């Protein structure tokens, strides 16, 4: 994505902090967030407190880089988010975190303050108890989409799951089966995941790193219902 794959970019720095904060737990708590470590990146981040129903969720803090100059949404309901902003584009993916969900990477083109932009963003779940998601930390960097780039670059939104975990359901493209098959992640051990096909119960052995990097062959669907 034209320079957005550089590991020094904002979204990757924030993601590395998130994985460090989570330590031995599945998700870190909002209280684990060390704003001093984020530095200037904090101005490109957003923290949302989730509620049920979801449309009653509220902004805890929104960095100035994601808003019109001089505006503030801190403490406001998410319904107050200005239309035609990158922040609004990212909020559309909040339902992916109810009742359960892992970190998401979102990239492509969008409209921000009336201008077309190319962006890469990330949404990261937070949980006070380490498991039940109650906040979402988001971050995004962007630049203006130059004239003609939409014909040269892959600008359609690309949404990728950043962590493969037991209980997830994925669509897997299998030429041997003649197309897409659905399978549930049973076990993840290092860079090896075993998935069980929904219909045939056959086992697939896949690399999580491949599943996260190749959306043309692997598509995250949802988390399996529990109980």
Where exactly are the structural domains of the chain? 10-161, 168-223
Percent of the chain with pLDDT over 90: 52
Stronger pLDDT, 150 or 146, i.e. the higher one: 146
Question: pLDDT-derived band of residue 6, with 50, 70 and 90 as boundaries?
Answer: very low
* Residue positions counted in the chain: 227
Q: What pLDDT, on a 0 to 100 scale, did the predictor assign at position 100?
A: 77
- CB distance 107 to 1 below 8 Å: yes
The topology under which CATH files domain 10-161 is Beta-Lactamase (3.30.450)
- Quote the tokens at residue 22: 């989570």
Please state, rounded to an integer, the average pLDDT across all residues of the chain: 87
Partnered with residue 169 across adjacent β-strands are 184, 222
- For the domain bounded by 168-223, which CATH number is listed? 2.30.30
Sign of CA dihedral 52, 222, 132, 64: negative
Q: Hey, is 154 helix, strand or coil?
A: coil
Enter the DSSP assignment of 24.
T
pLDDT higher than threshold 60 for residue 2:
no
Output phi, psi for 72, to 5 deg.
Answer: -145, 140
Range from 7-11, 16-20, 64-68, 204-208 carrying the lowest mean pLDDT: 7-11
Q: Is the pLDDT of residue 150 over 70?
A: no
Say how far apart CA 95 and CA 4 lie, in whole Å. 25
Residue 215 pLDDT exceeds 90: no
């Amino acid at each position: 994505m034209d320079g957005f794959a550089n590991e020094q970019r904002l979204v990757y720095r924030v993601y590395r902090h998130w994985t460090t904060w989570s330590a031995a737990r599945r998700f870190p708590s909002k209280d684990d967030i060390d704003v001093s470590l984020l530095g200037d990146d904090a101005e490109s981040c957003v923290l949302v407190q989730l509620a049920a129903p979801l449309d009653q969720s509220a902004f805890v803090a929104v960095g100035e880089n994601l808003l019109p100059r001089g505006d503030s949404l801190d403490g406001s309901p998410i319904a107050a988010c200005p239309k035609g902003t990158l922040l609004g584009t990212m909020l559309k993916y909040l339902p992916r975190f109810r009742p359960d969900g892992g970190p998401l990477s979102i990239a492509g083109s969008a409209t921000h303050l009336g201008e077309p932009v190319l962006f890469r963003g990330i949404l990261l779940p937070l949980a006070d108890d380490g498991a039940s998601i109650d906040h979402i930390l988001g971050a995004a960097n962007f630049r203006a989409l130059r004239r003609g780039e939409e014909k040269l670059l892959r600008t359609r939104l690309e949404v990728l799951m950043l962590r493969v975990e037991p209980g997830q359901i994925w669509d897997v493209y299998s030429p041997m089966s003649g197309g897409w098959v659905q399978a549930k992640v049973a076990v993840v051990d290092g860079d090896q995941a075993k998935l069980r096909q929904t219909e045939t119960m056959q086992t697939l052995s896949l690399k999580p790193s491949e599943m996260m990097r190749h959306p043309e062959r692997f598509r995250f669907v949802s988390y399996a219902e529990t109980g």
